[in-house]
Amino acid sequence: MSDKTTHFGFKQIPVEEKAGRVRGVFDSVADSYDVMNDVMSFGIHRIWKRIAVDMAGIRPGQQVLDLAGGTGDLTRLMAARTGKQGHIILSDINAAMIRTGRSRLLDHGVAGNVSFVQANAEQLPFPDNRFDCITIAFGLRNVTHKQSAINSMYRALKPGGRLLILEFSRPAKALRPAYDFYSFNILPRLGRLIARDEDSYRYLAESIRMHPDQQTLKGMMEAAGFEDCDYHNLTGGIVAIHRGYKF
């Protein structure tokens, strides 16, 4: 892969095209995104997200950025923890996902301590040392320049702040044959039936395979300046939670 190309799933495309293509994927699936998450993970994604929020250690009054926040699952869980004294910004590069997220949060009675910002993770439009915690769940793998995004998150965190990444990762070897069969044979069919979009869910399966494994991502966080970095595998490593601190 040259500096002028990047991967979109298994395809090589010009770097400048990736953000637009990713935006197209999520424009297509925004309305059915939550239903598909429940179906394709058998509801387990809700447990993964609760564990991630527990590990984030959100406290009342804190300032939190939910990056690639999508339909607001993490924001909804964290809003009760920051309380009215705190504030959460749900940020996403995709306007359709933000609209869906705002609607979902209002349906759950979440308002007052949440605002919405459309932004690119690689160039966060926030001042230095702004947030106590930044979370990004199932979004980093879609970013074109992941190291730039992690560097930007580090800059936006306060000293003592923490980053928490929840993302698909590299499962244990014994799980890979069944996991691959499900990802490339069952998941696209579910996408066709439920979201009426087989190609987007094929891309999502491919994007998981192109994402850095657990140890590589930990190294990228350390390269950005994060300390005390660790990761915790969930469901046999299908998903991992990475955590690091800015001191």
Task: Determine, yes or no, domain membership for 19.
Answer: no
20 burial type by CB count under 10 A (0-12 exposed, 13-18 middle, 19+ buried) = exposed
Q: Count how many domains the chain has.
A: 1
Question: Taking the complete model, does pTM exceed 0.85, yes or no?
Answer: yes
First-to-final CA distance of the chain: 34
**What DSSP state is assigned to residue 167?**
E
Residue 29 bridge partners (DSSP): none
- pLDDT over threshold 70, residue 242: yes
* pLDDT confidence of residue 90: 97
Over the range 212-223, which residues count as b (16 or more CB within 10 Å of their CB) and which as e? bebeebbebbee
Task: Determine, yes or no, domain membership for 228.
Answer: yes
Residue 11 bridge partners (DSSP): 8
* pLDDT confidence of residue 196: 84
Mean pLDDT of 138-153: 95
- pLDDT over threshold 70, residue 172: yes
**What DSSP state is assigned to residue 193?**
I
User: Which residues are CB-contacts of 184 (< 8 A; sequence separation ≥ 6)?
Assistant: 202, 205
Higher pLDDT, 103 or 17: 103
Cβ atoms of 130 and 63 within 8 Å: the answer is yes
Q: Over the stretch 28-86, which tens digit does the pLDDT of each residue have?
A: 777 787 887 888 898 999 999 999 999 999 999 999 999 999 889 999 999 999 999 99
Task: Determine, yes or no, domain membership for 96.
Answer: yes
* pLDDT confidence of residue 40: 83
Backbone angles phi and psi of 117, in degrees to 5 = -140, 125
- pLDDT band with cut points at 50, 70 and 90 for residue 2: low
Of 16, 81, 55, 238, give the one whose Cα is nearest residue 135: 55
Domain holding 109, by residue range, is 45-171+215-245
- Name the average pLDDT for the chain: 93
CA distance 128 to 56: 20
Backbone angles phi and psi of 128, in degrees to 5 = -60, 150
Task: Determine, yes or no, domain membership for 190.
Answer: no
Distances (CA, A) of 111 to 6, 15, 26: 38, 37, 24
Number of neighbouring beta carbons within 10 Å of residue 178: 10
Q: Over the stretch 4-28, which tens digit does the pLDDT of each residue have?
A: 889 888 888 898 888 888 877 777 7
Task: Determine, yes or no, domain membership for 75.
Answer: yes
Task: Determine, yes or no, domain membership for 158.
Answer: yes
- pLDDT over threshold 90, residue 102: yes
Measured torsion, CA atoms of residues 138, 142, 148, 153, in degrees rounded to the nearest 10: -30
User: Which residues are CB-contacts of 4 (< 8 A; sequence separation ≥ 6)?
Assistant: 14, 15
Cβ atoms of 97 and 30 within 8 Å: the answer is yes
Cβ atoms of 60 and 36 within 8 Å: the answer is no
Give the CATH number of the domain where residue 241 resides: 3.40.50.150
